[in-house]
């Protein structure tokens, strides 16, 4: 039987596993995950107030339930086992570990206390064990969010939503309390290009107009009268709806306790402050051929918190060629027997379902390359022996089900779950 290891139990790995079970029903697939919990960004990236998006977990559960699939949790590639170990044990290895670290602005002041990348900040309120100790500085009345993508909008909502608005979310309770206690009056959302260049999508933007205690404000002078010409019809419709929504924000006379200032053509050039952040210096831009070009005019925004939401990268790993934060690959193939899917393959773009087609295309490559090759490797039995030999405590699908039930059982009020936020807590709950 062909043996396949998938590194990472997030959406791209699970879509790949599902495709493989359909095309190669006899293959044995081991999904090796660093945490005892599966689902990657669906659990710890998707905003906790977007429970509808998280419903895809039910489909992933069905994939994990298949007889030929195993979830092996609490195993770190690079320390518990190496990529080379896996390549020696499995006929095919698919890297699906995403792009979990933040891109950097590369400007002065980025290391000041109070400046966080969205991978860290989102991971913190979503209960990712890597960020359990983040304890962000939330005592200021002003916050700046840098970036104009959907992650930036997620962070905005989480900062300004009331406890009532978060009642059915699975935000981590301690993070929720810290966010609610913040004396916030002003949030700036800064995009380096123009309003119609923004990467956020219409439905996420509209949500900002429906918040209980926050009014989005846009300077009408920053909005064009019309969207650019020549866009494909689908894009044009979306951009028109986006522009209309922004024009509505600009015309609104609402005045709620928190103001969300949407600033376009504002490129951050320095984070200000001595030890902790006190503000951000922006340079006004003009957009030329789709690029933000500095005008030399600057302005400062005072704040005690900065969250950058400017994209993610895949960290270095022995045996994995990485350039500019993405694994070097050709249609998902890295080398014979080694493949990559998801954000590690194509960079941090697209929604959860985008990964389905992407992973299935790589599954097609895997199957074509396998051809009639006879399986020759030790597979899962070999991995089990190696991990036992190294004293690695692994977790299983059953263990995840136990954690899942425990998280749901300890949830209060209308929250769907109260997450374990450290691996130790998870392992203790399993003991």
Q: Which residues bind ligand NAP (CB under 6 A)?
A: 105, 146-152, 154, 191-193, 197, 199, 204, 292, 309-311, 348-351
CB of 368 to ligand NAP, least distance (A): 28
Residue nearest to ligand NAP (CB): 149
Q: Which is nearer to ligand NAP, 29 or 198 (CB)?
A: 198
Residues 144 and 408: their CA atoms lie apart, in Å, by: 34
Q: Which is nearer to ligand NAP, 151 or 301 (CB)?
A: 151
**Element containing residue 101 per DSSP (H, E):** strand 101-102
CB of 223 to ligand NAP, least distance (A): 17
CB of 197 to ligand NAP, least distance (A): 6
Residues 269 and 294: their CA atoms lie apart, in Å, by: 10
262 neighbors 285 (Cβ within 8 angstroms): no
Taking CB atoms within 8 Å and a gap of at least 24, the contacts of 353-361 are 353/56, 355/11, 355/12, 355/15, 356/15, 358/12, 358/15, 358/332, 359/12, 359/13, 359/15, 359/16, 359/19, 359/96, 360/15, 360/16, 360/19, 361/331, 361/332
Q: Which is nearer to ligand NAP, 192 or 377 (CB)?
A: 192
Taking CB atoms within 8 Å and a gap of at least 24, the contacts of 153-156 are 153/189, 153/200, 153/204, 153/205, 153/207, 153/208, 154/47, 154/50, 154/118, 154/122, 154/204, 154/309, 155/118, 155/121, 155/122, 155/307, 155/309, 156/187, 156/189, 156/208, 156/260
CB of 390 to ligand NAP, least distance (A): 36
Q: Which is nearer to ligand NAP, 3 or 131 (CB)?
A: 131
Q: Which is nearer to ligand NAP, 156 or 387 (CB)?
A: 156
CB of 397 to ligand NAP, least distance (A): 27
Sign of the CA dihedral with 314 first, then 143, 216, and 167 last = positive
Across-strand partners of 72?
A: 32
Q: Which is nearer to ligand NAP, 183 or 294 (CB)?
A: 294
Nearest to 8 by CA among 394, 344, 333, 360: 344
CB of 298 to ligand NAP, least distance (A): 15
Q: Which is nearer to ligand NAP, 205 or 362 (CB)?
A: 205
CB of 403 to ligand NAP, least distance (A): 25
Q: Which is nearer to ligand NAP, 191 or 279 (CB)?
A: 191
CB of 210 to ligand NAP, least distance (A): 15
């Amino acid at each position: 039987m062909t043996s396949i290891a998938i590194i990472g139990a997030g959406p791209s790995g699970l879509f790949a596993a599902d495709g493989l079970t359909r095309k190669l029903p006899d293959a044995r697939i081991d999904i090796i995950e660093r945490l005892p919990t599966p689902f990657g960004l669906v659990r710890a990236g998707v905003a906790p107030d977007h429970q509808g998006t998280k419903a895809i977990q039910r489909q992933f559960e069905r994939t994990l339930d298949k007889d030929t699939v195993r979830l092996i949790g609490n195993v770190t590639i690079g320390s518990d086992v190496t990529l080379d170990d896996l390549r020696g044990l499995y006929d095919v290895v698919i890297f699906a570990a995403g792009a979990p670290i933040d891109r950097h602005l590369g400007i002065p002041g980025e290391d000041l206390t109070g400046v966080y990348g969205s991978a860290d900040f989102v991971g913190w309120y979503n209960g990712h064990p890597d960020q359990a100790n983040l304890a962000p500085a939330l005592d200021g009345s002003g916050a700046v969010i840098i970036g104009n993508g959907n992650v930036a909008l997620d962070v905005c909502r989480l900062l300004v939503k009331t406890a009532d608005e978060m009642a059915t979310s699975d935000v981590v309770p301690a993070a929720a309390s810290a966010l609610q206690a913040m004396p916030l009056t002003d949030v700036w959302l800064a995009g380096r290009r123009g309003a119609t260049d923004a990467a956020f999508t219409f439905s996420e933007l509209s949500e900002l107009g429906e918040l209980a205690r926050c009014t989005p404000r846009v300077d009408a002078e920053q909005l064009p009268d019309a969207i650019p010409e020549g866009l494909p019809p689908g894009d044009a419709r979306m951009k028109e709806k986006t522009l209309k929504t922004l024009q509505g924000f600009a015309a609104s006379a609402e005045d709620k306790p928190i103001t969300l200032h949407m600033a376009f053509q504002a490129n951050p050039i320095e984070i200000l402050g001595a030890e902790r952040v006190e503000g951000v210096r922006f340079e006004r831009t003009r957009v030329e051929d789709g690029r933000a070009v500095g005008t030399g005019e600057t302005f400062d925004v005072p704040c005690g918190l900065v969250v950058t939401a400017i994209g993610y990268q895949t960290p270095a790993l022995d045996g994995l060629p990485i350039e500019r934060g993405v694994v070097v690959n050709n249609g998902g193939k890295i080398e014979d027997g080694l493949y990559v899917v998801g954000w590690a393959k194509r960079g941090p773009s697209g929604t959860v379902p985008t990964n389905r087609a992407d992973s299935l295309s790589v599954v097609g490559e895997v199957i074509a390359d396998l051809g009639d090759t006879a399986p020759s490797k030790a597979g899962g039995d070999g991995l089990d022996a190696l991990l036992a030999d190294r004293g690695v405590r692994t977790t299983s699908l059953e263990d995840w089900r136990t954690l899942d039930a425990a998280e749901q059982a300890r949830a209060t009020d209308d929250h769907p779950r109260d997450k374990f936020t450290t691996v130790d807590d998870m392992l203790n709950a399993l003991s």
